[in-house]
Amino acid sequence: MLKNIGRGVGHRIRILVACAAVGVTGAVFVAIALANQHHAPQPSTVTAQAPVSTEPAPTLLDTQAPASVAPLSPSASTPAGLSASVPTRITIPSLGVNATFVPLGLNADGTIAVPTDVTHVGFYSLGPTPGQIGPAILLGHVDSAANGPGVFFKLGAAKVGDTIRIERSDGKAVTFAVYAVREYPKDKFPTTTVYGNTADPQLRLITCGGGFDRASGHYLSNIVAFARQI
């Protein structure tokens, strides 16, 4: 089984970022055809064009993890990284996010589990925790039929330079700055770009986005915000 997304992936991830209605299929992120659910912000042209340092050429986009990833070494100018510690709270002032975390593991089919409600942010507990070297993976719902907008409803509106503060169970807090926001079709999700190794502490915040397929009750894309520790 996959043990650490951020530091060497040794097992295929089949569908990490599917979007379906929680309580119906249990797949990643809520997506139900309510009128007020079609207006979640999407990445702006400027933000979507910001460079992603680990992003491969478009021809290399894929939907499964590589068999192995060589470790990256931080430069003298990058944060050294902290030891592992469970995150407890996330605040994103520009998006009005102030939420607590729940740990997430893997489902039996190799997909990442998801938060059971729209108010919490889930962190992938088998990968780096925020502040460690590598990309900490954070998942949040965009909306739900029962409760309306979710914790990451405004993620698509994140801008380069927006700050994200993570409190940890060891009493330390780490701050990150958004450096890119992307929308990826689910059938072309670039696993290496999103989950691949980094030489510094980073975050990947993921929710649903793009068009909404009323027939299936699924969003067609995922929104991914990339952030690095400052």
Number of helices and strands in the chain (H, E): 2, 10
In a domain, 71, yes or no: no
Give tens-digit pLDDT for 120-155: 999 999 999 999 999 999 999 999 878 889 999 999
In a domain, 75, yes or no: no
pLDDT at 33: 34
User: Among the listed ranges 12-16, 109-113, 181-185, 202-206, which one has the minimum average pLDDT value?
Assistant: 12-16
Predicted TM-score (pTM) of the model is 0.74
How many CB atoms are located within 10 Å of the residue 31 CB? Answer: 28
The DSSP bridge partners found for residue 48 are none
What's the structural domain count of the chain?
Answer: 1
In a domain, 220, yes or no: yes
Phi, psi of 223 (to 5 degrees): -100, 130
Its domain, for residue 44, covers 5-66+81-229
String of DSSP letters for 53-76: TTPPPGGG--SS--S--------T
At residue 35, the 3 state secondary structure works out as helix
What is the domain-level CATH number for residue 148?
Answer: 2.40.260.10
In the structure, what pLDDT confidence band is assigned to residue 225 with cuts at 50, 70 and 90? very high
In a domain, 72, yes or no: no
Beta strand spans in the chain (E): 87-92, 97-104, 121-124, 134-139, 143-144, 148-149, 163-168, 173-185, 201-213, 218-229
* Nearest partner of 136 among 190, 78, 86, judged by Cα: 86
Give tens-digit pLDDT for 158-187: 999 999 999 999 999 999 999 999 999 988
In a domain, 191, yes or no: yes
